[in-house]
Structures are given as C-alpha cells and as structure tokens.
Amino acid sequence: MKIALLSDIHANLPAFEAVLEDLEKQQPDAVYCLGDLIGYNVWPNQVIGLVHKHGIATIAGNHDLKVSKILSSQDECSKEENSEYAYKLVGSKERDYLLTLPRHLRLEFQLNDQQLNMLLVHGSPRSINEYLLQELSEQYMLELVKEFKADILCFGHSHKPYHRVINSGENGIEHFHHLVNTGSVGKPKDGDARACYVLINIDQMANSKSKDAVQVEFVRVEYDVEKAAKAVELSLLPNAFADNLRKAY
C-alpha cells in the first residue's frame, strides 16, 4: 500500500495545487493531511474546498483551531491587526469544518500475522503544539511511541521533514519504530522552497522486526513561490510571511 501524507498547507493555494497535480501522477492508495490548512496566506477557503473535493481525510492543526478565537472575516481588519488577518478570511462554513476535525487518526494493519500501528498527529500525540524535532533524544522518542503504541508515528508542525528509525527491542528481540515528519506543503522551513510531502510504502511482509520494512520517500514539488509571496504582500498580512516563503525559513 502506498500512502501519501501531507501537512501544513497554510492556505498556500499554488503549492497545494502543485502537490495535488503530483499526486495524480503518483496514484497513492490513500491520502491523509496532518493539519494546518490555514494561516500565513490568503486562500484558506479555496484550500479547504480542495480538501473536500479530493476527499482527503484530515486532522486538526494548531492554526486550524485558532479560528475559534478570531472574529469572522466580515469584521473590519486594520493594519494593526494584520497578524490575525489570515484567520479572518475563513468563512463560517469552513470555520465549522476546522473546529470539528479529529485530533489524530490511527491506522491498524494486520500484515503477515502481525499488527502494525500507524498514528497520525499534528504536533505530537501528547500535544497539538509540541515540536518533535529530529534532535530530540532517542529515550524521549521511545517513551512516546511506547506510550501511544505506534510502530509508525507521523507528524508535521515543525515544517522540517525527516525520517528516523529507533529500536525499542529488548533481550535481542528487535522492534523498530518509524518517526516521520512530513515537512510542509505551503511553508517549508528547511531551506528548500519547494512544497514537500511524503510517500510511505507498506507491503504485505512489513513488520516491526525489520528496519527496512517500511519505505519512506520525501517528494519535493516545484510551484509558483512568487505568486504566493506576492499574494501575501498585496494583503494585510505581514510582508515577512512573503520573505519566509522565498527563503524557506
């Protein structure tokens, strides 16, 4: 099975459209979004519309939940309030959708007489705002995957893609866990301005005792970065958001 995971679109319509076009070529068996459909750009409703159109199962990101505290887009927005402008663009129907998204998704595979558990979260299983950075200690990560019974833990939030494999086995019995950060479709922060998403391949012989049983591929997609950056600069959003898109910072 080939599973596509994407995250942190952040209302960047040109980036999302480019990724959707690439997914048409890749033909994954399933597509999941790990949250943060909105924030930082001017197309939240269009992005949500495409998520609906393509039937992409989605969980809530921390930015998605911010709409609960922001006035509707019909309220006046001044230059002094520009940090909140991205959330005021969200329509009422789209707002209701964001506020009812699940916090995580668990997929259970029964493969070769063994169960393989995949957990999809935004930040971490403990908190939607937690950053699971690559440099975190192995001991911390082991405690996390054991606590939440995850053979494959997938997350976004930091916008920095990586794949890390750790072994929780004892007494000579190996048990490997895959930690996968999907990176960001609409606001990369790893120095590469291209949109990023992940393809995970799981075959019928996959199991937790084999380090290479789960294959992870990071896909980078070219898109019109300047179009997205200019849209920021022509809006009430801070111009720094446009610079961050160009520099992938």
pLDDT of residue 80: 47
DSSP-derived secondary structure letter, 19: H
DSSP-derived secondary structure letter, 41: S
Strands lying side by side in the sheet with 162-167: 105-111, 114-120, 152-155, 176-181, 162-167
pLDDT of residue 209: 84
SS3 146: helix
Nearest alpha carbon to residue 145 among 160, 162, 132, 156 = 132
Return d(Cα 110, Cα 80) in angstroms, integer. Answer: 54
Domains of the chain (ranges plus CATH)? 2-247 (3.60.21.10)
Q: Render 79-115 in DSSP notation, one character per residue.
A: GGGGGGHHHHTS-HHHHHHHHT--S-EEEEEEETTEE
pLDDT of residue 78: 54
What is the helix (H) or strand (E) element at residue 185, kind and residue range?
none
Return d(Cα 45, Cα 57) in angstroms, integer. Answer: 17
Give the predicted TM-score (pTM) of the model: 0.94
Q: What is the pLDDT along the chain (249 residues), one digit of tens a residue?
A: 999 999 999 999 999 999 999 999 999 999 999 999 999 999 999 999 999 999 999 999 999 999 998 754 445 555 445 878 999 999 999 999 999 999 999 999 998 888 999 999 999 999 999 999 999 999 999 999 999 999 999 999 999 999 999 999 888 899 999 999 999 999 999 999 999 999 999 988 888 888 888 999 999 999 999 999 999 999 999 999 999 999 999
Judged on CB neighbours under 10 Å (0-12, 13-18, 19+), 214 is buried
User: How many other C-beta atoms lie within 10 A of the C-beta of residue 17?
Assistant: 18
Beta strands in 102-239 (DSSP E): 105-111, 114-120, 152-155, 162-167, 176-181, 195-202, 214-221
| 36, two tokens | 């943060």
Report which residue type is found at 140.
Y
| 113, two tokens | 């007489």
